[in-house]
Structure 1
Amino acid sequence: MQRIQLTEELSFSRIVHGMWRLNDWKYTPEQTVELIEHCLEQGITTFDHADIYGSYTCEKIFGDALSLKPELREQMELVSKCGIVLESENRPAHKSHHYNTSKEHILLSVDNSLRDLQTDYLDTLLIHRPDPMMNPEEVAEAFSALKKAGKVRTFGVSNFKSHQFSMLESYLDEPLVTNQVEVSAAQLENVQDGTLDHALEKRIAPMAWSPLAGGAIFSDEKSVRLKDTLTQVAEELGTEDLSEVLYAWILRHPSQIMPIAGSGKKERINAAVRALDYHLTLDQWFAILHASMGHDVP
């Protein structure tokens, strides 16, 4: 498994496993441990969480499983996110859907995540979404306090555009280590608007959520063009699994994107890992880009 070095002390597996749907899989703690161990066996050591996943349930499900084999914690990197507030029976104090990036909320969210994940620290904490009411000085104070307390090793953001990333980082004591954004052959916004260029400028490897476009890549109007092109490239690569081609397309980008495989099925996880063995030619990469756009590059 390839590794991406975020700092001198911290690296992530090139393929990240996402826990957004963990609650939907209805696994027992034992089955969740089995899934975690399967990921580790494949070289996937980085697990992506957020406080709100599963309406504030997924981190606890993962933590309950981890408590059965706590020694696994030292074999993995845990990422979590905060800043989105959902109305939920699991958080009675939350009365509406909004953003909250206050110092108080960040500190409380991290304490909740540490409790639910049954761990003493997070490897990386991300601000989940840009917040129009963000006070960067408060975020900086929260990050500094969490770092000093040993509760979070590094910090990053999610869904930030380049100017939002740079603004927040200008207030911090140390650089942000990643930006988690949506990237897929069907969703080109962050490929085209300079977000990935900014990652290259900052020398940070971004994380990519929904690399298969949530399955929509095989069902919407654009899929007619994409599927034909993906099938052709798959044949050239010697595989019948189009998801492998989709992962390979992301992995080919020079910013060293780390795609998040968010499946509870072992074969789907294995497909993401197999994609590391492919290296698309420029002809293949641009053919997929053209199919997604519906026209050639200028």
Structure 2
Amino acid sequence: MTVASDSPFQFVGNETWAQGYWRLADWQFSAQQTLSFLKAHLDLGVSIGDHADIYGDYRCEQLFGNALILDPSVRHQFHVVTKCDIQLVSSSNSVSINHYDTSAKHIVSSVERSLERLQIEHIDTLLLHRPDLLMDVDEVIACFTRLRAEGKVGAFGVSNFSASQFELLNHRFDGQLVTNQVELNPLNFDAFENGITDRLQMAAVRPMAWSCLAGGSLFNAQTEQAQRVVGCLRELAIKYETSLEGVAYAWVIRHPSKPLVINGSGKLNRLASAMEQSKISLSREDWYRVWVASKGHGVP
């Protein structure tokens, strides 16, 4: 983890983009193609990769590791983020029902399996993937402390945690969590309105933003809300001489919590285009113009 000298916000300094690998198994890349894709987004300045043990039915980490081992020198340029605690019914697992597990035993075994599949010796940042209502905070903190002391994990964070759930763990962990990965897009204001981004700003912690394009709903508007938002984004795209996608990403990036945007596409040109087209500075009025379109009414 690095901290920018000119910003109070933690986690990978001033970087704005991360590459998500949750669909890697669907891309049908060879190991060499995956390595080439990784090197290409490194050349674009995107050095953060987002993984989870369960992605691709527990296959994506292995596919990525098969590529990384072809050129181990690339590892030193790359920040590995992965997640644990979701237990899925799978041929790769022995559970009988999907559930969450933040026991020390499961976290440790998940880390060891992720290290083996990724074929690395150290996870840069480990996230708890979903809130576990049976989480024993003291047990988790002791486990995190052990994993860091053993050199297996560098930093820790969470994913999809509410403001209070984040605060519970972060407070007891002496403020050491580095991120909360949450959904942020013009169709979903939950993280902006339920205190999550407020709490992250209080802790000087940047969110990682997933589904910034609302799972593709901005390109296939099926609801009245999506249709209103798409219409607004198109108007702003013309005004700012950019793309609808660029405006959507710029809208997320504009928030003062300084979100780290996760790109989910396996097409390098989509990432390069999104990075370039989002280099606009939305005015405050235009940011709220999107808000009004999404809500279907003016501000109170």
User: Under TM normalisation by the shorter chain, which class is it?
Assistant: over 0.9
Show the counterpart of 1:104: 105
Show the counterpart of 1:182: 183
Whether the aligned pair in 2 keeps the contact of 1:212 and 1:246 (CA below 8 Å) is: yes
Residues 209-245 of structure 1: CA deviation (Å, up to 9, x unaligned): 1111110233221221111110111011112x21111
Whether the aligned pair in 1 keeps the contact of 2:47 and 2:77 (CA below 8 Å) is: yes
Q: What is the aligned-residue RMSD (CA, Å)?
A: 1.7
Structure 1, gaps ≥5 residues long: none
Q: How does 1:85-104 map to 2 (within 5 A)?
A: 85-91=87-93, 93-104=94-105
Distance 1:158 1:42 in 2: 26
Show the counterpart of 2:238: 235
Kindly tell me: are residues 174 and 228 of structure 1, through their superposed partners in 2, closer, same or farther at Cα, counting changes over 3 Å?
closer
Distance 1:46 1:189 in 2: 25
Kindly tell me: are residues 57 and 294 of structure 1, through their superposed partners in 2, closer, same or farther at Cα, counting changes over 3 Å?
same
TM-score (norm 2): 0.94
Show the counterpart of 1:282: 284
2:44 to 42, 45, 55: 42
Residue aligned with 2:205, SS: coil
Show the counterpart of 2:133: 132
Residue aligned with 1:178, SS: strand
Whether the aligned pair in 2 keeps the contact of 1:155 and 1:176 (CA below 8 Å) is: yes
Whether the aligned pair in 2 keeps the contact of 1:143 and 1:155 (CA below 8 Å) is: yes
Whether the aligned pair in 1 keeps the contact of 2:207 and 2:260 (CA below 8 Å) is: yes
Kindly tell me: are residues 210 and 6 of structure 1, through their superposed partners in 2, closer, same or farther at Cα, counting changes over 3 Å?
farther
- Residue type of the alignment partner of 1:229: C
Show the counterpart of 2:226: 223
Give % identity.
40
Residue aligned with 1:132, SS: coil
- Residue type of the alignment partner of 1:170: H
Bigger shift: 226-235 or 212-221?
Answer: 212-221
Residue aligned with 1:181, SS: strand
Whether the aligned pair in 2 keeps the contact of 1:6 and 1:177 (CA below 8 Å) is: no
Count of matched residue pairs: 294
Residues 128-160 of structure 1: CA deviation (Å, up to 9, x unaligned): 111111111111111011000011111000001
- Residue type of the alignment partner of 1:192: E
1:75 to 72, 77, 81: 77
Whether the aligned pair in 2 keeps the contact of 1:6 and 1:205 (CA below 8 Å) is: no
Kindly tell me: are residues 269 and 8 of structure 1, through their superposed partners in 2, closer, same or farther at Cα, counting changes over 3 Å?
closer
Structure 2, gaps ≥5 residues long: none
- Residue type of the alignment partner of 1:141: A
Bigger shift: 252-261 or 190-199?
Answer: 190-199
Bigger shift: 161-170 or 46-55?
Answer: 161-170
Distance 2:204 2:10 in 1: 13
Distance 1:193 1:9 in 2: 22
TM-score (norm 1): 0.94
1:54 to 42, 56, 72: 56
Distance 2:254 2:10 in 1: 24
Residue aligned with 1:157, SS: strand
- Residue type of the alignment partner of 1:62: F
Whether the aligned pair in 2 keeps the contact of 1:162 and 1:195 (CA below 8 Å) is: yes
